Amino acid sequence: MKHKGQPLYKLARAGVSVERRSRPVTVHRLDLVDWQTPLATLEIECSKGTYIRSLAHDLGQALGCGAHLRSLVRTRCGIFDIKDAVSMPRLEEAFSCGYGENYLHPVDIVLHDYNAAVIDDADEAAMRNGTLVNISGNRNAGDKYCRAYSQDGRFLGMLLYVPEKEAWQPKKVLV
């Protein structure tokens, strides 16, 4: 979250208090991992957009004792897990020895929740030029974005559906 372009965590570290708007978030799991008075170590699984500093503050208020973060470690984000992390020296060594690609994910792996479409050469050229693309086939009513691939399987980028034109506008092009 930001306030006037500044990340709230930076403002908090500087001792600047900012009124934050509340918004709905989901806490799927909250476990007390360790308790060494007065320090509690929590493990939290939550929806995106959850501001953990606010959650700590709210927990302290609910308990009547106050609370703040001493440290924060993100252990997972989407499909990425800290258990799979590789140190920079190990990654540098892997690349210098010729097997660094083993540690890289395809660029489109984080977009797997979006539907995909294979487009022909003419639509690929249109996409590169930023012009509308017509994808034949059924479109799910809720689809706002779509992954686009060439006929040989290359990831080309993301398309945004434009309902009034019944076509797809290139949003992010990687070709």
Distances (CA, A) of 57 to 17, 18, 45, 104, 112: 12, 13, 17, 37, 35
Q: Average pLDDT in the 54-77 region?
A: 92
Per-residue model confidence (pLDDT) at position 94: 96
pLDDT single digits (tens) 83-115: 999 999 999 999 999 999 999 999 999 998 899
**Domains of the chain from N-terminus onward:** 2-77 (3.30.70), 107-173 (2.30.130.10)
pLDDT single digits (tens) 110-159: 998 899 999 999 999 999 999 999 887 656 767 899 999 999 999 999 99
pTM: 0.64
> Which of 93, 87, 91, 114 is CA-nearest to residue 104?
91
Per-residue model confidence (pLDDT) at position 12: 78
Alpha helices, DSSP H only, in the chain?
Answer: 8-13, 52-63, 88-96, 121-128
Per-residue model confidence (pLDDT) at position 113: 87
Q: Report residue 42 as tokens.
A: 């929590």
